[in-house]
Structures are given as structure tokens and as C-alpha cells.
Amino acid sequence: MTMDDLRWYIDDSAADMQGPLEELEKDALIMTLRNKKTGEIELAKANYDGLKKANPKKEDIIRFDEINIQNLRDQGIAETEAEAMG
């Protein structure tokens, strides 16, 4: 996404977005393209690790040997044990 795209989705200025995007880049969760002259981020794209962290599968966040249905209901993950088990 371009910086204009990001500004459209979140109400923030380009300068305010540089810091969080740089942190995500340091954590290897996004890939960026920087302006050669200014060094500022122009494009940002989530990589596979970033997408997994943003939208984890139920298998990645549920330990099937320690299912607590009430906790899953509170977190909005599953309503029933059958739904939690997949």
C-alpha cells in the first residue's frame, strides 16, 4: 500500500505512520520500499509472517489439550467446544 492508501484507511499523517511502519519492518512483519532521496517509506506490504500474526489460524492460538471454552467465548474465538475443535 502507498502512504496515501494507508492515510485513507487510518486517520493519521505520513510522519506519524513512519515510526510504526519502521517497527514492523524491524520485526520482519512487513516489506517496504523507501524513497532513494529522503529514505522515507513509500510502499509497505505485509509478508507471510505479518499476515500470520495479524490473522492467526485457530490451530495456532488454541492448544487442544488445554481448551477452556469460557476463555474462548470471552475472546470471541469460539462459542462451543465443537467449534473450538474445528
- What local confidence, expressed as pLDDT, does residue 47 receive? 93
Residues 33/47, Cβ–Cβ less than 8 Å: no
The span from the CA of 54 to the CA of 40, in Å, is: 24
Residues 21/3, Cβ–Cβ less than 8 Å: no
Give the pTM: 0.60
Query: pLDDT per position in the chain (86 positions), as tens?
Result: 888 888 888 876 666 888 889 999 999 999 999 999 999 999 999 999 998 888 877 666 666 666 677 777 787 777 776 776 66
Give the three-class secondary structure for 75: helix
Concatenate the DSSP letters of all residues of 25-69 into one string: HHTTSEEEEE-TTT--EEEEEE-HHHHHHHS--HHHH--GGG--H
The span from the CA of 13 to the CA of 35, in Å, is: 17
- What local confidence, expressed as pLDDT, does residue 57 receive? 74
